[in-house]
Amino acid sequence: MLLERFLKYVQIDTMSSEDGTTTPSTLKQFDLAKVLQEELKELGLTDINLSDQCILTATLKTNCNSNETIGFIAHLDTIPGFSGTNVKPNIVKNYDGKVIELKNNVRLNPEQFPFMNNLIGKTLITTDGTTVLGADDKAGVAIIMDMLEYFTKNPSVPHKTIKVAFTPDEEIGGGIDSFDVKAFGADYAYTIDGGAYNEINYENFNAASAVVNITGLDPDSPQGDRICQKLFDDLSDNITVSGEDFPDLIPILAVVAGAKNGADFQNIGRLRLKESDRIEAVAQMLREIGATVQTTIDSMCVHPAQYTGGIIDAHNDHRIAMSAAIASTVSSEPVTILGAECVQKSYPDFWSEFTRLGGYYEQYIRR
């Protein structure tokens, strides 16, 4: 039943929007909330309430002598920027440990995602490559609903009073600004979100984003670098980039490509004749922080990755050092840049600007 429930929920598009000015940021989050509201009624829960902000709460009363109340929470929305419409789940039974090929040249490779090696023999559910799956956090929603169904169908199993909450806009922040903790009434609660089996995270974090407005870019400039804005937008997809007219952009474009959906950079042989062999320097940098990169004499293919941090040699090349700094902002662990002072060549104020825009660094003097 858990699988069927999950597959039902992922068919409901609940993508949030960073451009939204209300809570929820998209009205379609109510579509799933209303389905859950009816299911909660069918299960016989009480105190069911769906607020104007799309926060759905309910209570399963205790059937034993416990006076404690435990809460379980999951979010309704899926990540903005990746379609949640017409989701077609791909079910892989008895996973064999090999690469999973999806549409749009999307590959789930155990070399890139080593945790897949722990899933051999299990049933995996993935997207087909054309949309987001929505397991974050419809898997959590399905688990909570399945738990409630179990307790209602097995009244002899003792349980405390259980409070549940399904909330909007987790992916963009602010979705629980109107969440009434006191009214929820739980003594303690758990958020059921992505994580390893049998794993509990006891710390929370606050993630923030910022919009940086850049002025002074001339779209009619004779410099090839004027194409940067279009390329950064295009990197939302896996693309092929011919970089002969803007080779100096390749290091930072490669960093962005790895953090997004990958890219194939062609006609960039001139990079081998810069302050460093930038093709190999960039490839080395990205590999060090967790990306898979293939190179030829005049090309570089960067695969999407979750940057993990590491130690990067700037090769006395200012563009490598600055690109590594930007990579650190989306890495799960710190990035150490050897020779970071080389930014003085072109951008002496780089580190102060990096800090002003929200970055953080510590300087160590090598002796």
Burial class (CB in 10 A: 0-12, 13-18, 19+), 143: middle
280 is catalytic: no
Q: Left if phi > 0, otherwise alpha if psi is -120 to 50, otherwise beta: which for 115?
A: alpha
User: 13, 169, 170, 313: which one is catalytic?
Assistant: 170
68 is catalytic: no
Question: Could you check whether the bond before residue 137 is cis, i.e. omega within 30 degrees of 0?
Answer: yes
Separation CA 140–CA 77 (nearest Å): 12
Q: Give the relative orientation of helices 2-10 and 135-153 as an angle to the nearest 10 degrees.
A: 140
Locate tokens 């974090």: which residue? Answer: 205
CB-facing half-sphere around the CA of 139: CA atoms within 13 A: 14
User: 77, 137, 169, 288: which one is catalytic?
Assistant: 77
Q: How many residues does the chain have?
A: 367
Q: Left if phi > 0, otherwise alpha if psi is -120 to 50, otherwise beta: which for 312?
A: beta
Which of 136, 23, 124, 133 lies closest to 76 in space, CA to CA? 136
CA 250 to chain centre: 24
Burial class (CB in 10 A: 0-12, 13-18, 19+), 266: middle
Catalogue the active-site residues.
77, 170
